Amino acid sequence: DAMVIQNPRYQVTQFGKPVTLSCSQTLNHNVMYWYQQKSSQAPKLLFHYYDKDFNNEADTPDNFQSRRPNTSFCFLDIRSPGLGDAAMYLCATSREGPRANEQYFGPGTRLTVT
Amino acid sequence: QQQVKQSPQSLIVQKGGISIINCAYENTAFDYFPWYQQFPGKGPALLIAIRPDVSEKKEGRFTISFNKSAKQFSLHIMDSQPGDSATYFCAARTTGTYKYIFGTGTRLKVLA
């Protein structure tokens, strides 16, 4: 089944130790998103790619970086995780055209910072 | 103007009852309004979506009602079941921006 896949599902890292989360999709969607979601809150957009064009949200900390080497894969790098970065990280995709289309989420990666 | 206001924050409904969640917006450029269902520890799942050229869309037990003049839209869950217990998010976006503005979420609990 076509889907959005995130690995790992659970990630534990130490304070200040770089960590990379990955996302892959078999939907061939041209837009990929990274969201941060903390407990009982709505997803917060960190950045998104339209094809290879990177779009950063103004309030996304510099500590967060992203790479999209090809259509199918997208990575979230947290250079120096702090305790406040512990959250669920959600990858999502959509196919954009003349009209807005559905956005599909992956299962998320739960990040714990010790 | 970019906000989507969602209410209530939490909702308790008896099994078989109707669950109603409301959202309101200000930005008239929004032209796509999805609803997401999220279970604990899972990613949001697209439930149903509507565009402003229709006033209602129904899929199974789920219905979106859309009032363009009032800039409001709502999710109705008919015959609510315990398995519907989850957090529901409304969202809105403008074609061409590729960005979704989410409501704050409603935690629904359906009592058996």
Contacts 24+ apart (CB under 8 A), A35-38: A35/A89, A35/A90, A35/A91, A35/A92, A36/A87, A36/A88, A36/A89, A36/A90, A37/A87, A37/A88, A37/A89, A37/A90, A37/A108, A38/A87, A38/A88
Amino acid identity at B31: D
Q: Are B102 and A43 in contact (CB under 8 A)?
A: yes
Predicted local distance difference test score (pLDDT) of residue A102: 85
pLDDT in tens, A84-93: 999 999 999 9
Predicted local distance difference test score (pLDDT) of residue A96: 77
Mean pLDDT of B75-102: 92
Across chain A, mean pLDDT equals 93
Predicted local distance difference test score (pLDDT) of residue B2: 73
pLDDT in tens, A52-88: 999 999 999 999 999 999 999 999 999 999 999 999 9
Amino acid identity at A11: Q
d(C-alpha A105, C-alpha A102), whole Å: 10
Tell me the nearest-neighbour CA distance from B15 into chain A, angstroms.
24
The answer on pLDDT for A98 being more than 80 is no
pLDDT in tens, B9-53: 999 999 999 999 999 999 888 989 999 999 999 999 999 999 989
Residue in chain B closest to A108 (alpha carbons) equals B43
Rounded to the nearest 10°, the torsion over CA B104, B66, B77, B85 is -10
Mean pLDDT of A93-110: 85
The answer on pLDDT for A100 being more than 70 is no
B52 touches chain A (CB under 8 A): no
B83 touches chain A (CB under 8 A): no
**More confident position, A65 or A99:** A65
Cβ <8 Å between A43 and B44: yes
